Amino acid sequence: MHAAVITAYDTPPAYGDHPEPVAGSDNEMVVEVLAAGLHRLTRSKANGTHYSSTGTFPLVPGADGVVRDPAGKLRYAALDDTTLGTFADRTVIDPRRSVLLPDDIDPVQIAAAMNPAMSSWVALRRRVEFREGQRVLILGATGNAGRMAIQIARRFGAAQIIAAGRDTPRLADLAALGADETITLDQADRAADVDVVLDYVWGEPTVRAMTALLTARADRAAPLNWVQIGSVAGATAPIPSALLRAARLQIIGSGIGSVPARDFLAELPELAAAVTQGAITVRARAVPLADITQTWTAETDDRIVFVP
Ligand SMILES: NC(=O)c1ccc[n+]([C@@H]2O[C@H](COP(=O)([O-])OP(=O)(O)OC[C@H]3O[C@@H](n4cnc5c(N)ncnc54)[C@H](OP(=O)(O)O)[C@@H]3O)[C@@H](O)[C@H]2O)c1
């Protein structure tokens, strides 16, 4: 079969021949891959910077995708840490880490959406006790995950959604997705009274935003859940200790590990249904898997989805 293969962390994948996959146990099945997204997680696992990277080669990247199982059914599947991912004609999945999809779905849309959408969906469902009527600030709202976070917070009944980003022209699009207010990352004082922050940014911009928000907060005894989800501006952030003492601030992370696999799986069917129904706007660009080498470092706002 054909697959995209990485043989060293500092070189892009090459499209070529690869051995046919073999199911190793009763909990595995060989499936045909229809569409697989090039997510930030996928890139960082492929270049060795993700915390789950193992350094084992050859490596076929691809953390998830839409597949056709041996019975002809469509599934969205998330793969565990493996050297045979979804950037291949066929791969091996554990059906317990998958969800059946209707026959009429668009595989590219589902493959593009599930990873970025899941980030806010599980954060609000599984990491904080989010209630209807609460107010949400999204830091880094112009990316794929941030744009979906706006729509998901609205779906879950947020009373106010403030979308923050670094790029003012791009912020202008976010009202149409459901943002009540858009601000730059340096205007977090205008979100002083939110209940939850969904943070895709981290690094220095987060430190500045946290300081501005808490300084302007009217009731510092009101709980504030700051959910760390992404780190597009920095892997570390020097948070002043006083912020943790001066306000009822809780900083928690949301992602693979802090959310158990069973919790992700429990949320998959409802999220897949929401995407299938078109309830979440998705920016997707289908690319033939054979073009992976030249597409690997492409700068695009759309989520690239490889189609074998
Ligand atoms: N924990 C989880 O469950 C989970 C799941 C999915 C994704 N994530 C993480 O969430 C983050 C966003 O993922 P994504 O899929 O939305 O990526 P994406 O579509 O590439 O969007 C990232 C956005 O971040 C903004 N950005 C980039 N560098 C920045 C900087 N230095 N300062 C401020 N903003 C910056 C860019 O927006 P502008 O160019 O418009 O400013 C870009 O559109 C990533 O760190 C990803 O790993 C976490």
- What does the CA dihedral 155, 158, 159, 160 come to, rounded to 10 degrees? -110
Return phi, psi of residue 87, to 5°.
Answer: -85, 65
When pLDDT is averaged across residues 277-285 and rounded to a whole number, the result is 96
pLDDT > 90? residue 175: yes
When pLDDT is averaged across residues 74-79 and rounded to a whole number, the result is 97
Q: Is the dihedral of CA 284, 163, 252, 300 positive or negative?
A: positive
Q: List all residues 6 or more positions away from 91 whose beta carbon is below 8 Å from its beta carbon.
A: 21, 30, 31, 33, 60, 62, 65, 67, 79, 84, 85
Q: Give per-residue pLDDT as tens, 7-54.
A: 999 999 999 999 999 998 989 999 999 999 999 999 999 999 887 888
Question: CA 171, CA 140: separation in Å to the nearest integer?
Answer: 10
Q: List the alpha helices (DSSP H) in 89-175.
A: 107-122, 144-155, 168-171
Residue nearest to atom 22 of ligand 1 (CA): 143
| Banded model confidence at residue 81, pLDDT cuts 50, 70, 90 | confident
pLDDT > 90? residue 303: yes
Residue nearest to atom 30 of ligand 1 (CA): 233
Residue 174 in contact with ligand 1 by CB distance below 6 A = no
Do 121 and 249 form a contact (C-beta atoms < 8 A)?
A: no
Residue nearest to atom 6 of ligand 1 (CA): 116
How much is the pLDDT for 53? 84
**131 CA to centre of ligand 1 in angstroms:** 25
Residue 166 in contact with ligand 1 by CB distance below 6 A = yes
Residue 40 in contact with ligand 1 by CB distance below 6 A = yes
**188 CA to centre of ligand 1 in angstroms:** 18
Question: CA 22, CA 208: separation in Å to the nearest integer?
Answer: 50
| Distance, first Cα to last Cα, the chain | 10
How much is the pLDDT for 5? 97
Q: Give per-residue pLDDT as tens, 208-219.
A: 999 999 999 999
Question: CA 146, CA 256: separation in Å to the nearest integer?
Answer: 18
pLDDT > 90? residue 271: yes
CB atoms closer than 10 angstroms to residue 282: 22
268: tokens are 């998959």
Residue 143 in contact with ligand 1 by CB distance below 6 A = yes
Pocket test for ligand 1, best of 51, 53, 119, 256 (most atoms within 8 A of CB): 119
Q: Give per-residue pLDDT as tens, 156-174.
A: 999 999 999 999 999 999 9
How much is the pLDDT for 80? 87
When pLDDT is averaged across residues 118-137 and rounded to a whole number, the result is 98
The amino acid occupying position 209 is: A
Residue 148 in contact with ligand 1 by CB distance below 6 A = no
Length of the chain: 308
